[in-house]
Amino acid sequence: MTNALGAATSPYLRQHADNPVHWQEWGPHVFAAARARDVPILLSIGYSSCHWCHVMAHESFEDPAIAQVMNENFVCVKVDREERPDLDAVYMNATVAMTGQGGWPMTCFLTADAEPFYCGTYYPPVGRGGMPGFLQLLDAISDTWRTRREDVGRASAAVVAELSRAASALPDGAKPVDAELLADAVRQVLEDEDAVHGGFGGAPKFPPAALVEGLLRHVERTGSEPAMAAVRRTAEAMARGGLNDQLTGGFARYCVDSHWVVPHFEKMLYDNALLLRFYAHLARMDGLALAHEVTEQTASFLLSEMPTAEGGFASALDADTEGVEGSTYVWTPAELGVVLGPEDGPWAAKLLEVTETGTFEAGASVLQLRQDPDNTARWRQVRDKLSAARALRPQPGRDDKVVTAWNGMAILALAEAGGGLGRDEWVEAAEQCAAMLLKTHLVEGRLRRASLGGQAGAAVGVLEDYAFLSSGLLALHQVTGDQDWLTAAQDLLDTATEHFADPDSAGSWFDTADDAEVLVHRPRDPVDGATPAGASAIADALLTASAVVDLESAGRYRRLAEDTLNRASVLLERAPRSAGNWLSVAEAMAHGPLQIAITHVPGDEGLLEIARRAAPGGSVVVGGPRDSTPLLADRPMIRDQATAYVCRHFVCDRPVTTAQELVALLHGGGRKG
């Protein structure tokens, strides 16, 4: 066996194609080889922009002596967690169960039945700081496999039993998902706010995009001033600190400190898509100049740095540049002076918090913009010069893999932001991406997880892929009026219902399809994490679809959305910070959701544009001639004027024809509960 990663569709796997380790891709052949050789499987899971994955690769996987031990005693398997989130979920749960913590790279030792018996994360080549060395670990595992096989069997059986127990469905909610539960969930969330530095909890701080989106929807429904204040503090802290690239836009993965100063520099598509949606919503709702600026910058980042040649969006930019974390992005005062000169250099250093001692490593600083510059024109000139100078530096690597779910998030964000803020080019980019996904990732009616260079990979789609692509297509239908997007979204939702819904527990969903590869257990995780859970995302898509399709389909989608949301009541009650997207869906459900139908003639889109700017989050907005979509059926214009119908679950207020009346209707229903 030799290294077999050269033809992989994952850039992460291709990074290891030259390792002396005889890496294999996951598949039946690795289990057959393990049985034939009577050796365990060494499973290493990581991703392209993972700093410590690169460190372990350089330290251990590129070392011929370590590789020889791996090759002689194990069948070695590399997995991209972004391409196989199902495998990542199963073995991450095993790692956490065994060690109490998880992370990447993940290092798991499996039997030939794929059952884990020992798991960990990063290991240095030689033991240090209380951590065993990787060579030491390999020798210990090999010895245990040869001399204490019964212990291996007992350990793997115990882990599999625990994984199966933990994967049971959430119970039906003891409490209804009503205004009282939502108010209590928001109260708990606000108790965890860092009111000084913004965000929730302590270091490390991740951007809570789904959670602040849920809080915004709560504000729109209830008028809660404390929730709005928390949203503003978090939005400003994320935007002004090191998390946000102050030169070209784009958010890093997280900050290692509680002050939002030092980021972990990788930039993920999903973070930027989720944050674009949130800041665009905040800009529409609150009119904050900062929210508008960040929306523009984040959309610009997506459209300039992340597009692939085929029309999709790449997965990530690495944290490292030539093996050094953050080196592309940090500055010293002297470097600013070289680029900007003796006057603008010190001015920029003060403005951007660049100090002689530094805020990062080796005296360098991460750029921050804690306050607006006193001279906007000067700042723009400085920013342009620094951006141009930074572009000449070595750049971080890019993972060009196109992931279905994350591209669905980008479609959703660009369509909503473009429609709400009048940016047609954002909507066009979303359409191009959607067309590419439906052409390349939809194979015989079923989604593939990812593609590279226009070639779909073998990994099949998981629940979040169907959910987010459906939501993106539904958003495109609303913005463009194109029925094809609605039809495609319904097809995906119906396929997801058939293959992912738990037939034994109404409203419960598996993350893998019923005909997908059988793992040691069928994973399902309803908790919102770095990205929303597949279950909360499918609930969101179902609820949106129920507001725009025909009445017969609407009832079916609505009931399934309600059943799914009821399952989440225990999360909203006990762990609301881990249920941000559930909160968003629940607030939309409590609000109706609002259906806003604008009947008009072509060329008279004024009332429609106002509706898109003023609509609360989770609403649906459609426009066009009478009967052109289900929501416009039998809804005529009044006195030959564009006419707005504002409805809740197909029960409508009186139609109106002026902007003032429309805004009054939208906000008049925004103070309930």
When pLDDT is averaged across residues 37-55 and rounded to a whole number, the result is 94
Element (H, E) at 523: none
Residues 6+ apart with CB under 8 A from 466: 447, 492, 493, 495, 496, 500, 538
When pLDDT is averaged across residues 573-584 and rounded to a whole number, the result is 97
Q: Is the pLDDT of residue 169 over 80?
A: no
When pLDDT is averaged across residues 180-184 and rounded to a whole number, the result is 97
Query: Considering only 78-82, 286-290, 367-371, 481-485, which range has the smallest mean pLDDT?
Result: 286-290
What residues pair up with 442 in beta bridges, in sequence order?
447
DSSP 448: B
What residues pair up with 193 in beta bridges, in sequence order?
200
Q: Is the pLDDT of residue 2 over 80?
A: no
Query: Considering only 100-104, 170-174, 349-353, 398-402, which range has the smallest mean pLDDT?
Result: 170-174
**547 pLDDT tier (thresholds 50, 70, 90):** very high
Percent of the chain residues past pLDDT 90, beyond the cut: 90
Q: Is the pLDDT of residue 673 over 60?
A: no
Beta 651-652 vs 643-648: how paired, if at all?
antiparallel
The whole-chain average pLDDT of the chain stands at 95
226: nearest Cα among 195, 247, 270: 195
414: nearest Cα among 530, 279, 317, 509: 279
Residue 120, Cα to own-chain centre: how many angstroms?
A: 25
What residues pair up with 320 in beta bridges, in sequence order?
325
Q: Is the pLDDT of residue 482 over 80?
A: yes
472: nearest Cα among 312, 248, 301, 253: 312
Beta 455-456 vs 594-599: how paired, if at all?
unpaired
pLDDT recorded at residue 128: 87
491: nearest Cα among 474, 478, 515: 474
When pLDDT is averaged across residues 276-299 and rounded to a whole number, the result is 96
Query: Considering only 265-274, 317-326, 343-352, which range has the smallest mean pLDDT?
Result: 317-326
When pLDDT is averaged across residues 159-171 and rounded to a whole number, the result is 81
Same fold: 11-166 with 179-319+399-591: no
Torsions phi, psi for 67 (to 5 deg): -60, -40
When pLDDT is averaged across residues 378-407 and rounded to a whole number, the result is 97
**416 pLDDT tier (thresholds 50, 70, 90):** very high
**651 pLDDT tier (thresholds 50, 70, 90):** confident
**In this structure, what token pair is assigned to residue 506?**
């109404």
For 144-204, what is the HEC assignment? Answer: HHHHCHHHHHHHHHHHHHHHHHHCCCCCCCCCCCCHHHHHHHHHHHHHCECCCCCCECCCC
For residues 5 and 78, is the Cβ–Cβ distance under 8 A?
yes
Query: How far lies 487's CA from each of 89, 490, 593, 630, in Å?
Result: 31, 5, 21, 12
CATH number for the domain running over 179-319+399-591 = 1.50.10.10
Query: How far lies 547's CA from each of 128, 420, 469, 568, 648, in Å?
Result: 58, 18, 17, 21, 9
Residues 6+ apart with CB under 8 A from 428: none
Mind listing the pLDDT tens digit for each residue in 349-367? 999 999 999 999 999 999 9
pLDDT recorded at residue 173: 67
Ramachandran quadrant class, 130 (left: phi over 0; alpha: psi -120 to 50; beta: rest)? left
pLDDT recorded at residue 1: 61
Amino acid (one-letter) located at 145: W
- Quickly name the fold that domain 11-166 has: Glutaredoxin (3.40.30)
**In this structure, what token pair is assigned to residue 63?**
């070392």
Predicted TM-score (pTM) of this structure: 0.95
What residues pair up with 447 in beta bridges, in sequence order?
442
**In this structure, what token pair is assigned to residue 1?**
């066996």
Angle at 262 between CA 260 and CA 263, to 5 degrees: 90
As a whole number of angstroms, the longest Cα–Cα distance in the chain is 88
What residues pair up with 24 in beta bridges, in sequence order?
77
pLDDT recorded at residue 163: 85
The three-state secondary structure class of 223 is coil
**271 pLDDT tier (thresholds 50, 70, 90):** very high
Extents of the domains making up the chain: 11-166, 179-319+399-591, 329-393, 594-668
For residues 655 and 645, is the Cβ–Cβ distance under 8 A?
yes
Q: Is the pLDDT of residue 452 over 80?
A: yes
**In this structure, what token pair is assigned to residue 577?**
């910070």
Mind listing the pLDDT tens digit for each residue in 246-267? 999 999 999 999 999 999 999 9
3-state helix, strand, coil in the chain (%, to 5): 50, 15, 35
